[in-house]
């Protein structure tokens, strides 16, 4: 993962290459909290693929890149 200041910075860094997925840092933080927020809880248990997909969907992370197989 790379962190950039702006879309303009991403464009300069790409130098004509095709971009991958880009997200605002706020979305990355929301994803991290949703994905790992309860990991240290004593009653933690792995979630199902459907539950994990629901997290991605809820955050608007949709499309082929975000489909869990």
| pLDDT of res. 59 | 97
| pLDDT of res. 19 | 87
pLDDT for 12-62, tens place per residue? 999 999 988 889 999 999 999 999 999 999 999 999 999 999 999 999 999
pTM (2 d.p.)? 0.81
Pick from 37, 31, 35, 38: nearest CA to 59: 31
Residues 52 and 35: their CA atoms lie apart, in Å, by 8
Please determine, for residue 69, whether its predicted confidence score (pLDDT) is greater than 90: no
- Between the two ends of the chain, the Cα-to-Cα distance in Å is 21
């Amino acid at each position: 993962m790379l962190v950039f200041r702006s879309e303009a910075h991403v464009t300069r860094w790409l130098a004509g290459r095709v971009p991958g997925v880009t997200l605002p840092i706020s979305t990355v933080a929301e994803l991290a909290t949703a994905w790992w927020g309860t990991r240290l809880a004593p009653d933690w248990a792995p979630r199902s693929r459907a539950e994990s997909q629901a997290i991605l969907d809820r955050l608007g992370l949709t499309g082929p890149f975000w489909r869990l197989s």
